[in-house]
Structure 1
Amino acid sequence: MNNFRQTANFIWEIADLLRGDYKQSDYGKVILPFTVLRRLDCVLSPTKQKVLDYLPRLESTKVQNVDPILNKVAKHNFHNRSKYDFELLVADADHLAANLRNYINGFSGNAREIIEYFDFDKQIDRLEKANLLYLVVKRFEEVDMHPDVMSNVEAGYLFEELIRKFSEISNETAGEHFTPREVIRLMVNLLFITDKDVLTQAGIVKTLYDPAGGTGGMLTVADEYVRELNPDSRLELFGQEINPESYAIFKADMLIKGQNASNVKYGNSFTEDGLEGHTFDYMLSNPPFGVSWKKVQKQIKKEHEDLGFAGRFGAGLPRVSDGSLLFLQHMMSKMKETEQGSRLAIVFNGSPLFTGSAGSGESEIRRWVIENDRLEAIIALPDQLFYNTGISTYIWVVDNNKRPERKGKVQLINAVGMFKKMSKSLGNKRNEISEEQIAEITRIYGDFEEGKYCKIFDNEDFGYSRITVERPERDENGEIITNRKGEPKPDSSLRDYENVPLKEDIEAYFEREVLPHVPDAWIDFDKTKVGYEVNFTRYFYEYTPLRPTSEIRKDIEELRAAMQGITEKAVN
């Protein structure tokens, strides 16, 4: 069984044993950790006896941390010092639960932690009570996942296939940790397209980071892409995840693929940055949309106020109901300030484009990103593309070392119509982007030329001055009320605001757009604020002319005649 899909199907069939005792949405809680255990068991089998033989030598030493020593004996970055393996577990069915726990406890810390985050001990009890434990272990013992049969890459594909299958049958939670593969592929294309020359160099090593890693799907697809470009290159993967089960899957996937699983950290990226001080060549993320950061508000606000731009959130804080732009700032703080620089791609809903007026946290963050010439492109995606939401989404591409032709520019791509309908919906996902459409969007991005689906703007085009327009307060006789200096007092009830494009002279705009309507108005320049927003819909708006009156009248007459015929039939 040397085809990973065949193996995945075989393992998938094991889930049928759980039918009736488990909900479908809970199958993964059993099958995924068992898949991890079986793969690790197979990988360690050639050196397992050597590890057991070495154990007596360690008993006489005072070494506190034996993991590195035994890892070296095992010839992997993990090991197992329990006498059990799957074959011996099956051979002693009467004591299976106790022996299985002994086996799990025998793993080195990095592997044992994965099983613990799956909360697997509960599943052992549950399977034993349902008389399923032996059946499941026996079936997994029949799965051949030895390295001479299945490479690390194939094992990674297998694990990803299982994750996808369980995500699809668990639509209520799929969106929490599963990004559609075609969306990831598009993001990866956009991220790497300008660096193909670099990535195809012999022996190249680059780093990639995802602060909201889920189960690691984005990093997996990126790794595949780079391997396709250059089998001799190496992409070192880093990430962090807050959900325990997703973290366990993420870390297990890295361990199975032979990646350094210690690069995957658990916890909230905002308050427990597991990779503090690290910078990366590339970054990818699909953070949760519109999620409140109220629980961590105190820590984030303190970092913002105490450290400013020496911390991660110097540009500003968005409203507490949506932490999207916190993720962006967090990632940008990990960009390399080198000649090569760093690039990142992140998925947002529409809110970060325009929410917040001039001077607000959101606007100040956009202003900082754009004025520092970091925003390279925004791609509008089709709706109904994600499992847990049908709303419109956008990919932001950010680069701190733009190519010369892109400096001072922002590219907008309208890909909302580039999709095909799925034959079967998955949760809210009814649309998908085909390989041809991914290629087309990537081409439009790479060509960097204006057209029907592409607009290119100067950075300043997204900025505006929010001016405060005052009008005088008047008495009962209509006379203007003045202050001690003889200046007209503003009437707050008549106060108004205007957004003046940065490229336009404020006073010229005021004279043209305001004074003809309210001649007594003036600008309070002390209250002027600069804001930034990206009104995507306006830039790609296409006027649809109204239908001629004659056509509308004809349709009405036809409808009236049809209704009259129906009425006559009903009466007769």
Structure 2
Amino acid sequence: MDGTQFQPIVNFIWNIADLLRDHYTKGKYRDVILPMTVIRRLDAVLEPTKVKVLQKQREDEEQGFPKRHKYLCKASGFDFYNTSHFTLKELTAHPAELKANFKNYLEGFSPNVKDILEKFKFEVQLDTLDKAGILFELVQEFCSTKVNFSISPVLNNQGKVVHQGLSNLGMGYVFEELIRKFNEENNEEAGEHFTPREVIALMAELVFRPVATQIQENSTFFIYDNACGSGGMLTESKAFVKDVLQSKAEFELYGQEINPETYALCKADMLIKGEDADNIKFGSTLSQDGFKESEEKFDFMLTNPPFGKAWGSEQEKCKADPRFSMGVTGASDGQMMFLLNMLAKMKDTPLGSRIASVHNGSALFNSDSGQVAIRSHIIQNDFLEAVIALPLDLFYNTGIPTFIWILSNRKPAHKQGKVQLIDATSYFEPMQKSLGQKRNYLTPTHISAIVQLFLEQPKSPHSVIVENDDLGYQKFSVFALKSSQELLEEEGFNALSNHQAILKRLKELESKPPKLKPTYKTPKEFLEALDLPTPKLKTKEGIEIPAPLNLFDKQEEKIPLKEDKEGYFLKEIQPFTPLSFIEAKSVKVGYEILFNQYFYTPSAQKSLAQLQEEITDTEGEIQILLSEIWA
């Protein structure tokens, strides 16, 4: 969607914030402007059916019925309503009673809207605005005829359109653009960013396009975002399958969001668009799973979880959660936990579930034990279908490298046991004007080219296919006996009761190393195989006891999973340190995705003539500097 057509209304709302200048710090403007934007939108949408709602309310009261949500929603035409006798415009007709009337107006909203306003804590702002004497002017500005918050167009007396109606997707753009601008003003953390529409379009293509023929029948599919923000990824992905793929199936949207403001915006957006707003849950996806009780599973999951963000306060609770039994990441970064949450919500159906998730480079290769365990679980179970490296500077609040992971529990036969790596870092167009740190964007041509690489898997310098085990590695500890000379220099060696026996046997072994197997369970077993005495000390009572002296140097080795570790040891280690072995219990298998290993292009080497010219120039600069010093 081209957001430029909605920029005037964004600018109009942004300029209203000037009213708050002397009464709020700049970082608090959003606490007023965002909820007022939501209230004005809901007010404008409900205005055409206001009379019908009030009439229905009177009928119910006359018949002794309580306020009945279902029937009032039917009268309003939406899943929400307002039974106050006021509209936002009518509030300005009584300036002296504005605060009290405004509270009455807010109280008239249906419970689902009240939940939204509660998360905004708007009644607190109402009191502050009234005391500051700017409440009337604020309401008046939001009701200005200069812009149109309604879905319907505004006509003049001649029936000509003065202002086009603001579509649901357009309102979604306005919401997210305002949030982006406020985040930029407040210098929010890089990990807390909003996903550009063209990135969502790419993710939707990668998730839905491969199964387009399977989602045409008359069925209902569930789409889920476990870090849904203001809901852009949910609504855009549904728009893609309905408008681009022309699917006749039904799609229900589900999400969870921890930030009260963005949760409120998302829920408001869902209400306006006729979605079931109760499917949007509030709270932390990791420690407060909103779908735990319903045990809901989802067909399609798209998300851009926070990365590089501390989550230590939730760790302990997550360790006892079955969703995360495969591993729990370190306290400094919980992004991979969101992947595990989605894997736990995959459907066991013929279609299965498909996932698209945005991550930074850390998720590919970080050695944190939890992240290693999660990567291993994903790859060993053959869930990972592809990883796409995106261009830099695509996101508003961060310029760090980002990647889209595509996962499925129903990979097509030709992709099973394999992972596709796509280098799309050069697929971008520079923006004429930066938006925050967003300096680049994906054009439809770029998106089509990336999708073609993914679907057709042609031979290309931008795409490689690797087997799952190509991404695996083995780590193990190699213990090597210290030399006789090293032991003589070791503090405490001469105090051993059997140091002479150890030294004698070690020198024999050094002069003629025996042929030994590569792997032993423990250092003690290795010493026994060498017939080398273990270090001992004699107590005052004349009893010999084991000594704490360490006879070994230890080093860590890391080799490809497909390589035979014992063959590697015999070829690369034992010839140089013959009195050494692999500790059996230390062997660990992990997986990492090293993009540079497959796509690194070395820079061109300078010619000899170029190097000589640079040296001559540098020598000349040095002579000039020296002459200035000695002058």
Fold equivalence (TM over 0.5): yes
- Scaled by the length of structure 1, the TM-score of the pair is 0.88
After superposition, residues 152-551 of structure 1 pair within 5 angstroms as 154-168=167-181, 170-171=183-184, 172-173=187-188, 176-199=192-215, 201=216, 205-229=220-244, 230=246, 232-276=248-292, 277-303=295-321, 311-356=322-367, 360-472=369-481, 476=488, 477=503, 479-480=505-506, 486-488=528-530, 493-544=552-603, 546-551=605-610
Contact 1:409 1:456 (C-alpha < 8 Å) held by counterparts: yes
Q: CA deviation at 1:428?
A: 3.5
CA distance in structure 2 between the aligned counterparts of 1:547 and 1:415, rounded to whole angstroms: 28
CA distance in structure 1 between the aligned counterparts of 2:558 and 2:111, rounded to whole angstroms: 58
Distance 1:47-1:515 versus aligned 2 partners, 3 A rule: same
Give the corresponding residue for 1:108.
Answer: 110
Which 10-residue stretch deviates more, 99-108 or 486-495? 486-495
Distance 1:177-1:391 versus aligned 2 partners, 3 A rule: closer
The one-letter code of the counterpart of 2:389 is A
1:149 to 129, 153, 175: 153
Distance 1:372-1:62 versus aligned 2 partners, 3 A rule: farther
CA distance in structure 2 between the aligned counterparts of 1:346 and 1:483, rounded to whole angstroms: 48
CA distance in structure 2 between the aligned counterparts of 1:424 and 1:492, rounded to whole angstroms: 65
CA distance in structure 2 between the aligned counterparts of 1:483 and 1:340, rounded to whole angstroms: 54
The one-letter code of the counterpart of 1:409 is K
Give the corresponding residue for 2:500.
Answer: none
1:471 alignment partner, SS class: strand
CA distance in structure 2 between the aligned counterparts of 1:157 and 1:301, rounded to whole angstroms: 41
Return 5+ residue gaps in structure 2 as ranges: 155-163, 489-502, 510-522, 535-549
Q: Deviations over 1:435-490 (max 9, x none)?
A: 33233222222221342111110011111222332223565437339959832479
CA distance in structure 2 between the aligned counterparts of 1:254 and 1:434, rounded to whole angstroms: 28
Contact 1:409 1:459 (C-alpha < 8 Å) held by counterparts: yes
Indicate the RMSD between aligned Cα atoms, in angstroms: 3.1
Q: CA deviation at 1:283?
A: 0.8
CA distance in structure 1 between the aligned counterparts of 2:170 and 2:220, rounded to whole angstroms: 22
Q: Deviations over 1:206-237 (max 9, x none)?
A: 32111111122222321332232227554321
Distance 1:184-1:75 versus aligned 2 partners, 3 A rule: closer
CA distance in structure 1 between the aligned counterparts of 2:551 and 2:61, rounded to whole angstroms: 82
Which 10-residue stretch deviates more, 314-323 or 560-569? 560-569
Q: CA deviation at 1:507?
A: 2.1
After superposition, residues 113-124 of structure 1 pair within 5 angstroms as 113-124=115-126
Give the corresponding residue for 1:71.
Answer: 73
Contact 2:150 2:165 (C-alpha < 8 Å) held by counterparts: no
Give the corresponding residue for 2:36.
Answer: 34
Distance 1:464-1:333 versus aligned 2 partners, 3 A rule: same
Q: CA deviation at 1:144?
A: 4.1
CA distance in structure 2 between the aligned counterparts of 1:298 and 1:267, rounded to whole angstroms: 17
Contact 1:7 1:158 (C-alpha < 8 Å) held by counterparts: no
The one-letter code of the counterpart of 2:443 is S
Q: CA deviation at 1:326?
A: 0.8
CA distance in structure 1 between the aligned counterparts of 2:334 and 2:601, rounded to whole angstroms: 32
Q: Deviations over 1:410-440 (max 9, x none)?
A: 0111122333444444444333333332332
The one-letter code of the counterpart of 1:455 is V
CA distance in structure 1 between the aligned counterparts of 2:112 and 2:30, rounded to whole angstroms: 21
Which 10-residue stretch deviates more, 265-274 or 500-509? 500-509
Contact 2:481 2:552 (C-alpha < 8 Å) held by counterparts: no
Distance 1:231-1:124 versus aligned 2 partners, 3 A rule: farther
The one-letter code of the counterpart of 2:153 is V
The one-letter code of the counterpart of 1:295 is S
Q: CA deviation at 1:5?
A: 5.4
CA distance in structure 2 between the aligned counterparts of 1:61 and 1:136, rounded to whole angstroms: 39
Q: CA deviation at 1:48?
A: 2.5
Contact 1:215 1:247 (C-alpha < 8 Å) held by counterparts: yes
2:376 alignment partner, SS class: helix
Contact 2:193 2:397 (C-alpha < 8 Å) held by counterparts: no
Which 10-residue stretch deviates more, 174-183 or 102-111? 174-183
CA distance in structure 2 between the aligned counterparts of 1:493 and 1:387, rounded to whole angstroms: 53
CA distance in structure 2 between the aligned counterparts of 1:66 and 1:523, rounded to whole angstroms: 73
Distance 1:423-1:454 versus aligned 2 partners, 3 A rule: same
The one-letter code of the counterpart of 2:445 is E
Q: Deviations over 1:132-162 (max 9, x none)?
A: 3222322333354444439998133134224
CA distance in structure 2 between the aligned counterparts of 1:64 and 1:531, rounded to whole angstroms: 61
Distance 1:203-1:23 versus aligned 2 partners, 3 A rule: farther
Q: CA deviation at 1:571?
A: 10
- Scaled by the length of structure 2, the TM-score of the pair is 0.81
Which 10-residue stretch deviates more, 423-432 or 124-133? 423-432
Contact 2:222 2:253 (C-alpha < 8 Å) held by counterparts: yes
Distance 1:90-1:545 versus aligned 2 partners, 3 A rule: closer
CA distance in structure 2 between the aligned counterparts of 1:431 and 1:61, rounded to whole angstroms: 61
Structure 1 ranges of 4+ moved more than 6 A:
60-65, 150-153, 565-572
Q: CA deviation at 1:100?
A: 0.9
Distance 1:87-1:232 versus aligned 2 partners, 3 A rule: farther
CA distance in structure 2 between the aligned counterparts of 1:109 and 1:369, rounded to whole angstroms: 41
Distance 1:338-1:565 versus aligned 2 partners, 3 A rule: same
1:495 alignment partner, SS class: strand
Give the corresponding residue for 1:306.
Answer: none
Return 5+ residue gaps in structure 1 as ranges: 304-310
